[in-house]
Structure 1
Amino acid sequence: MTKMIVGLGNPGDRYDGTKHNMGFMALDLLAKEYQTDFKMEKTFIAEVAQTFVNGEKVFLVKPQTFMNESGRAVKPLLTYFNIDPEDLSVVFDDMDSPVGRVRLRQKGSSGGHNGIKSILTHVGTEHFNHVKIGIGRPKNGMKVVNHVLTKFDSEDNSEAQDGIFKAVDAIKYYIENNDFTKAMNKFN
């Protein structure tokens, strides 16, 4: 059985460390933990790293399509590697949760998240694992787009980092135990 873990974000230095790139940050840490490196796969418009855990192949993917088009990278990779959507896990930022809170779900709607909306459209099902990392709501009347495309302020940065570490721990637990329900029970 093969698993694919996708972290959502926007490519380019301009977006490094922004709230919308929580998925990229989690995947970078996961790749480091598994001692693997990302390589650009131009055919799939994604950076891809591979590793084996307990004899099972695991693909780590960072789409390079920009957030709103994430599904354009995810669907061809699922098809090419013959991975069932139920073996897909997507890590992304969640504005509806407090900063750093991690929530795992086995399926779900986009909840207004454009990256997830794109994946739902291209993959054609909501039956894939969601790993949400809270970024909180905009403060002081800030527009949503400005909120997600800025870095955390010093007040929230520690909680955000804790959320990334917790998400990585949850993903590793899922991969190593091959059971997303157990991961949900342990980390939600």
Structure 2
Amino acid sequence: MIVGLANPIVKYDKTRHNVGSWFIQNLANYHHKVLKENKKLLGYTASFIYSNSRVYLFIPNVFMNINGESILTISKFYNIKLNEMLIVHDELDLNPGLIRLKLGYGHNGHNGVRNIVNLLSKKKHFLRIQIGIGRPMKSKKIADFVLSSPLFNERKLIEESILNAVNITNFLVKDSNILIIKKILKCNRNY
């Protein structure tokens, strides 16, 4: 399952904190799928067959700091473990235009990931794609920054990085051999 973290409500759609949902929408479009709301699973879902495997796409329809609840609900419904998921989210410590593939069980201060770790992790490693949004230049509060829209040039860089992340994801889904993933992660590079 591939999960894009986001906040619900239309006013948050274009904010930096919702880049995980932008990614899922791009991936769904790439595979010619439409995300549909599933109230029982607390989010928007779609699925496709890729390399003889069913891949579920999911955007939680709850607030970021409690999205682990919706991920727990869908993971129980489809019997998917956290280490069988790819979590995609915004990352303050990466500039716009950069992405990072990360395997681990930490949250690095991201409230959405923290909630997932608290509810599902039990110190199990899981795979993430972090999409860079940068940090505010002025002493702006982080919450205000992530809940605001990126500037035009930042948005373009983020959109390019999302396309790169879609390509990486298709590779991971096609060949989910953990040894290959670990080799990639040993490089510890931003893309």
TM range, normalised to the smaller chain? over 0.9
Displacement of 1:64 in angstroms is 0.5
Distance, in Å, in 1 between the alignment partners of 2:41 and 2:19 is: 21
The CA distance in 2 between the partners of 1:100 and 1:94, in whole Å, is 11
Question: 1 CA distance for matches of 2:158 and 2:179?
Answer: 24
| Contact 2:67/2:116 (8 A) holds in 1 | yes
TM-score (norm 2): 0.91
- How far off is 1:58 after superposition? 0.4
Unaligned runs of 5+ in 1: none
For 1:106, what is the secondary structure of its paired residue? strand
1:105–1:111 Cα change, 3 Å: same
User: Is the deviation greater in 113-122 or in 35-44?
Assistant: 35-44
Letter in 2 for 1:130: R
Q: Is the 8 A contact 1:8 1:23 kept in 2?
A: yes
Q: Give the conservation status (yes or no) of the 8 Å contact 2:3–2:85.
A: yes
Contact 1:53–1:176 at 8 Å: present in 2 too?
Answer: yes
1:83 to 75, 80, 83: 80
Shift of 1:154: 2.2
2:69 match:
72
Range that drifts further, 15-24 or 121-130: 121-130
* Residue 113 of structure 2 is aligned to residue 116 of structure 1: yes
The residue aligned with 2:132 is: 134
What is the aligned partner in structure 1 of residue 159 from structure 2? 161
CA RMSD of aligned residues (A): 1.6
Q: Is the 8 A contact 1:174 1:180 kept in 2?
A: no
- Who is 1:42 aligned against? 39
Asked if structure 2 preserves the Cα contact closer than 8 Å seen for 1:173 and 1:183, the reply is no
Measured in 2, the distance between the counterparts of 1:33 and 1:7 equals 15
1:6 aligns with 2:3: yes
Runs of 5+ in structure 2 lacking a partner?
none
Check whether the contact 2:87–2:129 (CA below 8 A) recurs between aligned residues.
yes
The answer as to whether partners of 1:99 and 1:159 remain within 8 angstroms in 2 is: yes
C-alpha separation between the residues in 2 aligned to 1:183 and 1:15? 32
Q: Percent identity?
A: 29
Secondary structure at the aligned position of 1:23 is classed as: helix
CA distance in 2 between counterparts of 1:28 and 1:116 reads 20
Letter in 2 for 1:7: G
Aligned length: 185
Structure 1 residue 181, shift from structure 2 partner: 5.3
CA distance in 2, matches of 1:102, 1:181: 21
Q: Which amino acid aligns with 2:32?
A: Q
Partner SS state of residue 104, structure 2: coil
Rounded to whole Å, the distance in 2 between the matches of 1:56 and 1:159 is 31
> Post-superposition shift, 1:12?
1.8
CA contact (8 A) 1:96 1:134 kept: yes
